Chain A
Amino acid sequence: MRLSLTSRLSVISALLPALMVMLVVYIGATSWTAWMSLTNSRMLPNNNFVGFRQYELLLTNDRWLTSVHNVIIYGVLFVSLALLIGFLLAVAIDQRVRAEDTIRSIYLYPYAMSFVVTGLVWQWLLNPTLGIQHVLRSWGFAGATFDWIVRPETAIYCLVIAGVWQASGLVMAIMLAGLRGVDDEIWKAARVDGLPKWRVYISIVIPMMGASFATAAVLLSTAVVRLYDLSVSMTNGGPGIASEVPAKFVMDHLFERANIGLATAAATTMLITVIAVVAPYLYWRARKGEVR
């Protein structure tokens, strides 16, 4: 279709703001970050090219290595537990329970809270002298111990607990929509076939819900990469550096430790990692689209 000059101009001018935002904010800022990671910028950005020096420093930085280790533990546990619990909650609600609306709202409620609030609440709950351990002991379980948050080797699991608590409701909502999409007659056919309910879920319903699982997994994964505020508000990376995460590493080095070079190197590493994970998936999706 050929458009006249004026109508083409109006199309271009309508698209221009979005294009500018895209170019300046995303491409521009990302490229600038990548460039900065190749300089020796400290508190203020400069253009002294130092090659991959910052990356070498990064890979020997204890705090960075702990952060990466933590985000892997968090990512695997958080995504799998949130999917599992969210799915089980959805299955529970799908049994035509009474007061379904109320229960659904309660399950979804944590998701309405910011990570900062979630972090604070769970910090109190997990605090040995204030929270669950204290309550259990005051009930007479003198030996009760739940002090994960103050022990370096378990602090990251506390972040997992809080994260799963917050995100399960969202997964539940997505899964419930998927479950409701299963034709009632399939359930009837399965009953006539004599299949037990758990068998129907495992062999028939879950394979039908690929799209729901993929949607939930993608949403959860972005939350893993963004993980920052939970760590700040719950443990502030502690005890020591035991619950540091990559995004917090970047923020701290950018604004507190005045090390722009190292911070941007860390940020670029995160970006490359995400691309390395997502690109094969997108490629596979595109190929699949062609086949159809």
Chain B
Amino acid sequence: MDLVVDIADFQVSADPRADLVTYSLGSCVGVSIWDPEAKVGGMIHYMLPESAISPEKAKLNPAMFGDTGIPALFRAAYQLGAIKKRLIVKVAGGSSLLDDNGTFNIGKRNYILLRKIFWKNGILIDSEDVGGAVSRTMRLCIGSGRVSIKSRNREVEL
């Protein structure tokens, strides 16, 4: 059963039959977390790095921004029984347009924000597929913890 994680949204699940899946990651970033003992997983698809550009939107849609959405994702997973030190964290997205001047660098800034938050909180990224100019689909199987990335009609395990 697919649970679709919309853009500017996150989901957590403890249902071993569920897959969390998010489509069309461009410069947005997808983060999947999974606790192999509790068999609890979660995924976010955030659009922009910092909520400071629109605090009122962040209040209504915390998952729109990395700085409000990532903590919310982790908290929701803890509530289902996940424990921080067991979490396996995988990251995808952060693409850019073909841009020599780096004017449109939302993707890069989304990724830097993530590293900053993880560094402050002592969270390691297990594996990642970021950058480039591709669109990605990210899928996390709650039962097995398997994460796959599909882009340009090729699917690879992360």
Q: Does A associate with B in a complex? A: no
